[in-house]
Amino acid sequence: MTRRVVITGAGAVSPFGPSLEIFWEGVLSGKIVLEAGWAGLHTDLQDFPVGVVAAEEAAAHWGLDPRAMRRLDPVSILALCAAKEAIENAGLEGSCEGTETGVVLGIGYGATTTHIATHSTLAASGASRLSPFTIPASMPNAASCNLSLEFGLKGPSWTVSTACASGLDAIGQGMWLVRNGVVDRALVGGAEAIVDDMGLGGMAAAKALAKSGDGDPAVLCPFDRDRSGTAVGEGAAVFVIEAEEVAEAREAPVRGQVCGYGASADAHHITAPDPSGGGAEVSMRKALVDCSRQPGDIGAVYAHGTGTPLNDKMEGEAVLRVFGEKLPLVTSTKGQYGHAMGASGPLNVALALRGLESALVPATHPCPDPDPECGIVPVRDEAATLEHRMAMVNAFGFGGHNASLIVSKE
């Protein structure tokens, strides 16, 4: 059994706000919502701009029980908010329970907020003062199982963790479940909430972050000649995907199709990407093969584009090899709201979906001086008109994980 897989619902929570439309409009505006000197961080981390989501406010916006939310890590709260929007968007409130709906969620770094709180309690008061919800809140599968619990979903409930490729891998693997008839429907996507001392401190120690010495948050500059590193963000994006015939049977509006998925591993270095871009090239080519498409069918590439010297150069060169001289429009929007790690791919899928609906590709901000060594010039200054009905999204992670996904509006 091989079935077409369509998207009938989408939700996103980002530093711009608690919904997909707020995210889309914010990105189109060109506004940068990264914050320098965020008070929630240790003083020696406050020179690193971050993209913060107010999890409690997002939960209130979507009507989630505040008492239940206090038992959860922010990563689960963000996933629940995005899933609530996606389910409402798909017209499935109260009607997607049962064994035919699965969950596949990507979490790159896990419940770091809970880990920090646990360590603080242990140090100050001992183990007897730990919450009984410590393990349920911090286990790697917490976000996925909370989606299953909240919405009564009894199909397979999986967590994928491949660093920054996690969410895109989750969508691809969820597509496989639906395509091959294992389930009729799935909630897929990713979430991340690591704007804290552990998450940011670890990234700073890995020399991956751009620093703001004067409080200017415009430090993440994808594909720019003077790029110096990334900025940590957080958020979530979740989609309802269904077999086409299942969506048609309930007369659901179809927002797009998940067409192709490709993945690879660099087997090169624990943090640095393969400078040749070979693994990135493989994942893009595999995604094209998976949906029997040619490079010329792709109108836009939503790049991983982290603003690090190594990533942007290798990704630009890989895109150039895959697509040749007739390049699609290329963009990276992370400079506006930060790199949401395992959620970054799904957030880009959300933008790609809205872009296909609006025939637009958002611009890359800030990128004042494109680096010729990257081999590509991204969309700049303002959104570009999209003439094709198909887009590719890339996500590459620590450990050498590479993922590419193709979505269409046909």
For the packed helices 309-323 and 278-290, what is the interaxial angle rounded to 10 degrees?
40
Does residue 365 carry a catalytic annotation? no
- Asked if 199 and 208 touch (Cβ cutoff 8 Å), the reply is no
Distance in angstroms (rounded) separating the CA atoms of residues 252 and 2: 20
Task: Give per-residue pLDDT as tens, 142-174.
Answer: 999 999 999 999 999 999 999 999 999 999 999
- Bigger pLDDT: 393 or 97? 393
pLDDT at 94: 81
Residue 1's pLDDT band (cuts 50, 70, 90): low
Task: Give per-residue pLDDT as tens, 334-346.
Answer: 999 999 999 999 9
CB atoms within 10 A of CB 312: 30
Distance in angstroms (rounded) separating the CA atoms of residues 171 and 84: 17
130 Cα distance to chain centroid: 32
Distance in angstroms (rounded) separating the CA atoms of residues 398 and 380: 28
Q: Is the pTM value of this prediction over 0.85? A: yes
CB atoms within 10 A of CB 125: 10
Clarify whether residues 83 and 131 are in a common domain: yes
- Which residue in 350, 342, 377 sits closest to 143, CA to CA? 342
Residue 97's pLDDT band (cuts 50, 70, 90): confident
Beta carbons within 8 Å of 67's beta carbon, 6+ residues apart = none
Instruction: Select which of 164, 221, 367, 374 is catalytic.
Output: 164
CATH of the domain at 396: 3.40.47.10
Structural tokens at position 220 = 């993440």
Domain containing 205 equals: 5-256
Residue 23's pLDDT band (cuts 50, 70, 90): very high
Residue finishing a domain among 214, 237, 256:
256
Does residue 339 carry a catalytic annotation? yes
Clarify whether residues 146 and 231 are in a common domain: yes
Per the structure, the count of domains in the chain is 2
pLDDT at 331: 99
Task: Give per-residue pLDDT as tens, 295-317.
Answer: 999 999 999 999 999 999 999 99
Residue finishing a domain among 241, 256, 271:
256
Clarify whether residues 250 and 277 are in a common domain: no
Distance in angstroms (rounded) separating the CA atoms of residues 34 and 334: 10
Clarify whether residues 49 and 65 are in a common domain: yes
Q: What is the DSSP letter of 31?
A: -
Clarify whether residues 286 and 307 are in a common domain: yes
Clarify whether residues 222 and 132 are in a common domain: yes
Residue finishing a domain among 256, 274, 302:
256
Beta carbons within 8 Å of 392's beta carbon, 6+ residues apart = 284, 287, 298, 300, 301, 302, 328, 404, 405, 406
The mean pLDDT value for 29-33 works out to 98
Beta carbons within 8 Å of 126's beta carbon, 6+ residues apart = none
Task: Give per-residue pLDDT as tens, 186-215.
Answer: 999 999 999 999 999 999 999 999 988 778
CB atoms within 10 A of CB 127: 9
The mean pLDDT value for 44-49 works out to 93
Clarify whether residues 280 and 249 are in a common domain: no
Does residue 115 carry a catalytic annotation? no
Clarify whether residues 176 and 295 are in a common domain: no
- Bigger pLDDT: 290 or 98? 290
Q: Which amino acid is at 391?
A: A
Task: Give per-residue pLDDT as tens, 266-276.
Answer: 999 999 999 99
Burial 232-250 (b: 16+ CB within 10 A, else e): bbbbbbbbbbbbbebbeee
Instruction: Select which of 81, 115, 339, 365 is catalytic.
Output: 339
Clarify whether residues 272 and 192 are in a common domain: no
Q: Which residue has the tokens 């491949």?
A: 162
pLDDT at 225: 98
Clarify whether residues 296 and 166 are in a common domain: no
Name the CA dihedral angle for 384, 18, 113, 228, rounded to a multiple of 10 degrees: 20
Clarify whether residues 128 and 270 are in a common domain: no
- Which residue in 138, 353, 359, 334 sits closest to 238, CA to CA? 353
34 Cα distance to chain centroid: 17
Instruction: Select which of 81, 115, 221, 304 is catalytic.
Output: 304
- Asked if 102 and 187 touch (Cβ cutoff 8 Å), the reply is yes
Clarify whether residues 170 and 247 are in a common domain: yes
Cβ neighbourhood burial of 132 (10 Å; 0-12, 13-18, 19+) = exposed
Percent of the chain with pLDDT over 70: 100
